[in-house]
Amino acid sequence: MRLLSPIKDHHSERRLFIGRVVIASVVSFVLLGLVTARLVQLQVFDHELFAEKSQGNRVRIEAVPPIRGLIFDRKGRVIAENLPAYQLELIPEQVDDIDDTLNRLAAINLIEAADIPRFRALSGSSQQFKPVTLKFRMTDQEIANFAIQRPRFPGVDFQPRLVRHYPYGELFAHAVGYVGALDTNDVQRLELARYAGTSHTGKTGVESSFENDLQGYAGYRHLITNARGRNVAANTTELLDSLPTDQTAAPGSNIYLSLDVDLQQVAYNALEGRRGAVVALDPTNGEVLAMVSSPSFDPNLFAVGMSKDQYNELQNDLDLPLFDRTIRGTYPPGSTIKPMLALAALATGATNLTRKSICRGYFQLEGNEHRYRDWKPNGHGPVDLHDAIEQSCDVYFYEISNDLGIDNMHEYLTRFGLGSASRIDILGERPGVVPSKEWKRNNFRDRDNQRWYHGETVIASVGQGFMLVTPLQLAVAAGTLGNRGTRYRPHLVAAVEDTLSGDRVLVQPESLENVAIDNSFYWDFVLEAMHSVMQGPRGTARAVGTGAPYQMAGKSGTAQIVSIAQDEKYDAEKLLERQRDHALFIAFAPFDSPQIAVAVIVENGQSGSGVAAPIAKAVMDQYLGYGKNATP
């Protein structure tokens, strides 16, 4: 019989257990040794490295935006400033129901209902403890209304911020420009280190062109934060003392313009809201004294942010309030170029001081039945060059046009600055066109259209056809006439001031190539004819200039923008308002020693002498001390 083995082998089990304990103990000691070694490495050998990283997680660097420089007029009056304004802000983590809160804010008219989806997206995309701006600038009434209801809106409050403000609103909107929110194009072209903490930059006018001076340099400060990145108060000064020194923001420079608030206001009021532009400058140094484009807009809307509907309303307005007519609007100059063409004709021998023409109210080229009509249907009768300027006789200039030739017209008119950028110190200027035979060859593809025709020379002699100039160019030309050929580059900025030291750098006048006319008597003759335009017995603008307390000179112009059939007469009443002639006028004063030159364009104003000339006269009155609000 076989013997059965015992059910349990205690000796084997004990040996197995002891072996497992030994192995587990060895593994545990090895692992504990590795952990201990790692702790020693972290806490002893790498202590400085991780202490620095820990400090970095606890200390946050916050950008301090610079204060933007101010902009003043020539008399030191602020026309662009920084004002503390209250902004309505929402902190998402403190709001239980953001949708309900936003809807209730819209119900009490603190925000627009259309903006709620955007605010909801902003509150969900950023860190929950960072505020979301709901309204950039609150009125006193809005602040008072919200203060009463503040307990109903936990997590919503108003905070003081610094925002750009334009106290004269639409008066300087185009010349000074405005600031707007940074966009992707700005990020690509700007030095981002200077814009840390800054949300706006100059978009147009002086604000854009002198951005480098106005912006300043950003600073920074160190803040103590908790693990979630929220600011906390430091328990000891030891930590703060160990931090690097904060960098103070450097404010931008102040800009002083040559513009005058009072003169700007007179020019703007004189336009009476009509579409047009006024430019006045000092012919002795090129300083721009007034620069008005009408209609205008409130630049504060861009500085504090506007709704999409507000922007679309401006953008789609048929009167183009956002369009700067002073430097971007191009118009046929009409008869305002006649004094310049008279000098060109005298200098080239195309006419002389005694030549007379018989103005019957129209002119015809030899062998052509087409009639080029004078503005006066029955004609002016016998006229010489002086009469042709004083009475603005078109026929006289029609007759001398082919003797003068389009290329001579081009050469002399461009000497006065027409048809080319004046290089004023703000961006966006358009050059315009003073045509020539070469210009036409280069701008038309069809060979027949590349030819220059005699009829095109005829209409060019009265500032029509392809010819286009800006109001600024006309003002420069008027100043050049008053200066007898001496030219200066126009500029808006008169000085740049260091905000901290108060030191100013004055902008020096920049001379341009003069208009050389060898015979000084030609200048006397033509300028005297311009004087007669305003203060002569038969001048087209004598109703404006007669009886003035100072002597002046000017030239009216009327630019046709739609063709009138040969068998029809011009009748403004039968035309749509936007099809009527443009009204232009250039002038300078005082006559013997010009201090101001003015150019005016009134779109569809019909009469240069009747509509544009009174505006020029009002501007000159104000500057010379004879206006209603002027100080002699």
Q: Which of 294, 296, 335, 422 is catalytic?
A: 335
Distance CA 57, CA 6 (A): 67
224 neighbors 234 (Cβ within 8 angstroms): yes
Q: Is 335 a catalytic residue?
A: yes
With H, G, I as helix, E, B as strand and everything else as coil, classify residue 424.
coil
Pairing of strands 276-281, 179-181: unpaired
Q: Closest Cα partner for 484 from 522, 539, 510, 512?
A: 522
Amino acid at 44: V
Radius of gyration of the chain (CA): 37
**Buried-exposed string 207-229: b where 16+ CB fall within 10 A, e elsewhere:** bbbbbebbbbbbbbebbeeeeee
Distance CA 68, CA 607 (A): 44
357 neighbors 394 (Cβ within 8 angstroms): no
Amino acid at 382: P
**What CA–CA distances, in Å, run from 304 to 166, 198, 467?**
11, 13, 41
DSSP per position, 565-580: -TT----GGGS-GGGS
With H, G, I as helix, E, B as strand and everything else as coil, classify residue 547.
coil
With H, G, I as helix, E, B as strand and everything else as coil, classify residue 184.
helix
Order of strands across the sheet with 596-602?
Answer: 288-294, 276-281, 596-602, 582-589, 553-559
Distance CA 125, CA 120 (A): 9
Amino acid at 216: G
201 neighbors 164 (Cβ within 8 angstroms): no
CA-CA-CA-CA torsion sign (315, 320, 326, 330): positive
Distance CA 104, CA 97 (A): 11
Kindly report the length of the chain.
632
Distance CA 180, CA 323 (A): 17
324 neighbors 294 (Cβ within 8 angstroms): no
Helices (H) and strands (E) in the chain, counts: 23, 22
Strand extents, DSSP E, 381-425: 381-383
Structure tokens at 318: 């048929």
Torsion of CA 107, 110, 115, 118, to 10 degrees: -110
157 neighbors 86 (Cβ within 8 angstroms): no
- Which residue in the block uniquely carries the two structure tokens 């509907």? 309
Phi, psi of 138 (to 5 degrees): -100, 140
Catalytic residues: 335
